[in-house]
């Protein structure tokens, strides 16, 4: 909102001193006098703007024209300000980065593995369904062959009946196969279910691991930028000292070696600052690889609530692998069981009778139950032995994983309170070093401290700042590791 503060007279009398000496207002005296007014814009309380307009006695309409120009300029200013607001509203946040992880091609491939396991389960169930197939053939024989088995009384040869034997036979029909009992097929379905659980755990573990990487990389990026900012403050401080030393050296009050000491430290800090810039470029590239989002700086992070402790996600995946190995061994053993099948066929057979050359047709249909018993198959025994070894190895890996995960969980749990204590100590140390640096600067200017001692105070402040930021990174890394350990989705933990 734009408000004209009072009348022209009061505006002139309230004119800021920086615009010139205040002049008294004489009513009616407009000759050769320029009346200056100011529009005070109250739209932004913390940043008032003063817009100037003029009116002269020679052209009474000039004030209206300039007033319109000022009004239009003000409108344009606010429109440009409001138009820029969506850019800030669309600022990348840690929630945006974590949400983008799931949409990356690598995670999409893992999700497709889950869908593939679902199809594999359907395929295992499909083996239990009946199979109906059609067949057809045309066969040439070197001697007359029966179209189907024939009863002795079926043909009266003396009466000249056509005998259902031919050298050229056409066969076609339908065949039915129904598995009544094949134990290994039922176990195969259970095995695929265990595989499906492995794929789901792998996808969840990969997702949370990538989210944890985003948090860790973002924390490292914040560390690099904050240390670089602290380094810039030290460089500014040393640059002022360098300037003072140059004057002292020029006047012959200080040896040039003292200046070289400061310049050497300055050059070292500039080199380290450049190294941090390179590190930031690499970290931003890592975030781009993880999220496909280009960031220009580290995004702020807030811990909404601690990571929920529970079962270990890695253990859950390994248990599913052991279960799959058990089903694999069970299936290998069940291949020695008898298999019971229902078989049937509808068959039409036709050809030329070899004794009369007449066209003959015969139907041949059957249905029955078939049992297959593997009496000796050496490959089954070797397969069972191999599956036993694989199962034993998986169980040993599970036992070792449980030990490792329990130790890691205990370590991370003990680290958190120590991290909080380290943060408080590092903050106190930084504050103390900053106060000592102020004292050292005064002592150095008063020539009560050597250059080496003063530079040590400058370095200690920078080291204290770096140590504090390193603890900040360690804290987020511990939180990320706990999330991976317990399978907590970080989108609900960090904001």
Instruction: Give me the tens of pLDDT residue by residue for the chain, a chain 495 residues long.
Output: 333 334 333 433 444 444 444 444 444 444 444 434 333 333 333 333 333 434 444 444 444 454 555 555 555 555 544 444 333 335 788 999 998 998 888 888 888 888 888 888 888 888 888 999 999 999 999 999 888 888 877 877 777 788 888 999 999 999 999 999 888 888 888 888 888 888 899 999 999 999 999 999 999 999 999 999 999 988 998 898 888 888 888 888 888 888 888 889 899 999 999 999 999 999 999 999 999 999 999 999 999 888 888 889 999 999 999 998 998 898 888 888 898 999 999 999 999 888 888 898 999 999 999 998 888 888 888 989 999 999 999 999 999 999 999 999 999 999 989 999 999 999 999 999 999 999 998 998 888 888 889 899 989 999 999 999 999 999 999 999 999 999 898 888 898
pLDDT of residue 156: 78
Between CA 352 and CA 360, with CA 355 as vertex, the angle to 5 degrees is 30
207-245 confidence digits (pLDDT tens): 999 999 999 999 999 999 999 999 998 899 889 888 888
Question: CA gyration radius for the chain?
Answer: 44
Spatial separation of the C-alpha atoms in residues 192 and 396, rounded to whole Å? 22
Q: Tokens standing for 177?
A: 């196969």
Residue 494: DSSP 8-state? B
Spatial separation of the C-alpha atoms in residues 40 and 52, rounded to whole Å? 9
Q: Are 209 and 353 in contact (CB under 8 A)?
A: no
Spatial separation of the C-alpha atoms in residues 333 and 180, rounded to whole Å? 19
Of 124, 136, 120, 135, the C-alpha closest to 179 is 124
Between CA 16 and CA 23, with CA 22 as vertex, the angle to 5 degrees is 150
pLDDT of residue 103: 87
Q: Are 427 and 468 in contact (CB under 8 A)?
A: yes
Domains of the chain (ranges, CATH numbers) = 2-89 (no CATH), 130-181+339-373 (2.20.200), 200-318+395-492 (1.20.1600.10)
Which contacts of 261-265 are long-range, i.e. CB under 8 A and separated by 24 or more positions?
Answer: 261/451, 261/452, 261/455, 262/238, 262/451, 262/455, 265/238, 265/455, 265/458, 265/459
Dihedral angle at the C-alpha atoms of 92, 93, 96, 100, nearest 10 degrees? 80
pLDDT of residue 10: 40
pLDDT of residue 76: 54
């Amino acid at each position: 909102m734009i408000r004209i503060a009072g009348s022209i007279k009061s505006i002139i009398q309230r004119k800021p001193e920086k615009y010139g000496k205040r002049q008294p207002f004489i009513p009616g005296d407009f000759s050769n006098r320029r009346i200056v007014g100011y529009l005070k814009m109250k739209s932004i309380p913390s940043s008032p703007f003063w817009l100037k307009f003029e009116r002269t006695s020679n052209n009474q309409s000039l004030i209206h024209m300039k007033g319109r120009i000022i009004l239009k300029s003000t409108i344009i200013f606010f429109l440009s300000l409001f138009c820029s607001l969506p850019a800030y509203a669309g600022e990348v946040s840690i929630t945006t980065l974590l949400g983008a992880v799931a949409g990356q091609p690598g995670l999409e491939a893992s999700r497709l593995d889950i869908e593939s396991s679902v199809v594999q389960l359907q395929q295992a169930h499909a083996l239990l369904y009946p199979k109906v197939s059609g067949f057809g053939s045309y066969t040439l024989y070197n001697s007359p062959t029966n179209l189907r088995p024939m009863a002795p009384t079926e043909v009266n040869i003396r009466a000249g009946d056509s005998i259902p034997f031919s050298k050229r036979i056409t066969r076609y029909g339908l065949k039915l196969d129904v598995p009544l009992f094949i134990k290994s097929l039922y176990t195969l379905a259970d095995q695929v279910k265990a595989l499906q659980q492995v794929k789901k755990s792998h996808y969840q573990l990969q997702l949370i691991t990538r989210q944890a990487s985003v948090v860790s990389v973002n924390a490292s990026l914040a560390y690099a930028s904050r240390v670089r900012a602290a380094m810039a403050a030290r460089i500014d401080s040393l640059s002022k000292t360098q300037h003072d030393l140059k004057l002292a050296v020029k006047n012959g009050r200080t040896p040039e070696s003292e200046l070289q000491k400061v310049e050497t430290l300055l050059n070292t800090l500039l080199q380290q600052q450049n190294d941090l810039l390179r590190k930031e470029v690499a970290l931003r590239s890592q975030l781009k690889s993880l999220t496909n989002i280009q960031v220009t700086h580290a995004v702020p992070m807030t811990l909404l609530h601690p990571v929920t402790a529970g079962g270990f996600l890695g253990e859950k995946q390994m248990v599913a692998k052991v279960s799959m190995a058990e089903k694999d061994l069970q299936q290998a053993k069940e291949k020695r069981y008898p298999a019971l099948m229902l078989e049937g066929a509808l068959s039409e057979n036709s050809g030329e009778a070899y004794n009369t050359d007449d066209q003959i047709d015969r139907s041949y249909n059957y249905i029955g139950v078939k049992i297959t018993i593997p009496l000796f198959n050496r490959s089954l025994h070797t397969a069972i032995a191999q599956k036993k070894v694989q199962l034993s190895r998986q169980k040993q890996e599970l036992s070792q994983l449980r030990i490792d995960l329990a130790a890691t969980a205990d370590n991370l749990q003990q680290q958190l309170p120590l991290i909080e204590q380290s943060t408080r100590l590092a903050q106190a140390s930084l504050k103390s070093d900053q106060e000592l640096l102020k004292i050292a600067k005064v002592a150095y200017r008063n020539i009560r401290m050597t250059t080496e001692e003063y530079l040590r105070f400058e370095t200690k402040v920078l080291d204290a700042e770096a140590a504090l930021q390193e603890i900040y990174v360690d804290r987020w890394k511990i939180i990320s590791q706990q999330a991976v350990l317990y399978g907590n989705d970080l989108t609900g933990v960090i904001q």
